[in-house]
């Protein structure tokens, strides 16, 4: 469970988040909102990439202000552009990067890497240079590199924005099948239809918090 208590944040003079009080416990939580509504900032609060100016973010009771390292083991993060999050030159090295940071023994690293490669059909690309993968494969690699660390929560920041329709569906399927809690920031409403809960952001506040059938319609009306 992730809790936010009276969270506010500014960039310079501009408020980006104001007075958020939320408890996130559903398995599939969607976050929607216009550009600049604060949803990307919100996503970065959840694993301590950003610490709020005021208020507290607690992940299973741990405060992101004090326990960022422990929290990052629990909360994985998939960014919008896989090119900006694939760190190492080959598929295998990139998958192993997080596991080495967790100080796992080499044998465990190898086992986990093999398992995740098989799960997403990337076995043939094990020693492949990451920059030669297709856009869809890159996004799957980015997701795999996070999954391989076995986090309990995964935050996605607009993961399908740069993908074509087929790869959007493939990623949607992959997210659907995750055993973990997923918190997905997205403009891709189709992806969010079967979620448990939708938060609609506007000007740094949550203006609608409901099931998709209600919240997504409200959001579409808001944007009209």
Partner 1 sequence: MSLGLYLHRVSPVHAVPAGAKMLALLAAGTGLLLFPSLPVLSGALVATLGLYALARLRPREVAPVFRLSAFVLVPLFALHALVSGWEPALVAVLRLAVLMLLATLVSLTTRASDMLDALERALRPLARFGLNPARLGLLLSLTLRFIPLLATWLREIQEAQRVRGLDRNPVAVLVPLLVKTLRTADTLADAIDARCFDPEEPS
Partner 2 sequence: MKTRDLVHVALFAALMAALGLLPPLALPFIPVPITAQTLGVMLAGSILGARKGFLSLLLFHLLVAAGLPLLAGGNGGLGVYVGPTGGFFVGFLPAAFLIGWLTERAWSRLSVPLAFAINVLGGICVLYAVGIPWLAVVAKLPLAKAAWGSLVFVPGDCVKAALAASAAVTLKRAWPLIQPPRSASPAVPPPSST
Give the nearest distance from C-beta 134 to partner 2 in angstroms. Answer: 22
Give the nearest distance from C-beta 194 to partner 1 in angstroms. Answer: 26
Verify binding: residue 76, partner 1, rule CB under 8 A: yes
Which residue matches tokens 């891709």?
188
* Element of type H or E holding 5: strand 2-11
Residues of the shown chain interacting with partner 2 in the complex, contacts defined by CB under 8 A: 11-12, 40-41, 44, 48-51, 68
Verify binding: residue 77, partner 1, rule CB under 8 A: yes
Verify binding: residue 87, partner 1, rule CB under 8 A: yes
* Element of type H or E holding 57: strand 54-59
Verify binding: residue 62, partner 1, rule CB under 8 A: no
* Element of type H or E holding 214: helix 212-223
77 binds, among partner 2, partner 1, none (CB under 5 to 8 A by kind): partner 1
Q: Name the residue among 181, 171, 4 with its Cα closest to residue 195.
A: 181
CB atoms within 10 A of CB 189: 15
Nearer to partner 1, 90 or 110 (CB): 90
* Element of type H or E holding 209: strand 205-210
Verify binding: residue 79, partner 1, rule CB under 8 A: yes
Verify binding: residue 84, partner 1, rule CB under 8 A: yes
Verify binding: residue 166, partner 1, rule CB under 8 A: no
Q: Name the residue among 23, 29, 26 with its Cα closest to residue 5.
A: 23
């Amino acid at each position: 469970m992730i809790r936010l208590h009276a969270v506010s944040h500014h960039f310079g003079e501009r408020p980006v988040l104001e007075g958020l009080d939320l408890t996130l416990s559903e398995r599939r939580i969607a976050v929607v909102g216009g550009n600049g509504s604060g949803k990307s900032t919100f996503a970065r609060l959840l694993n301590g990439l950003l610490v709020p100016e005021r208020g507290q973010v607690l992940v299973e009771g741990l405060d992101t202000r004090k326990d960022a390292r422990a929290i990052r083991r629990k909360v994985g993060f998939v960014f919008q552009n896989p090119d900006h999050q694939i760190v190492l030159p080959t598929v295998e090295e990139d998958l192993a990067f997080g596991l080495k940071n967790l100080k796992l023994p080499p044998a465990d690293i190898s086992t986990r890497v093999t398992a995740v490669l098989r799960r997403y059909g990337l076995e043939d690309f094990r020693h492949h240079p990451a920059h030669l993968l297709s856009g869809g494969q890159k996004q799957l690699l980015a997701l795999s590199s996070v999954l391989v660390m076995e986090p309990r929560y995964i935050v996605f920041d607009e993961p399908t924005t740069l993908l074509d329709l087929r790869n959007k569906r493939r990623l949607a399927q992959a997210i659907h099948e995750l055993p973990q809690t997923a918190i997905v920031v997205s403009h891709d409403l189709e992806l969010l239809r079967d979620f448990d809960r939708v938060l609609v952001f506007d000007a740094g506040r949550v203006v609608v918090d409901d099931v998709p059938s209600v919240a997504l319609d409200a959001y579409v009306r808001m944007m009209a």
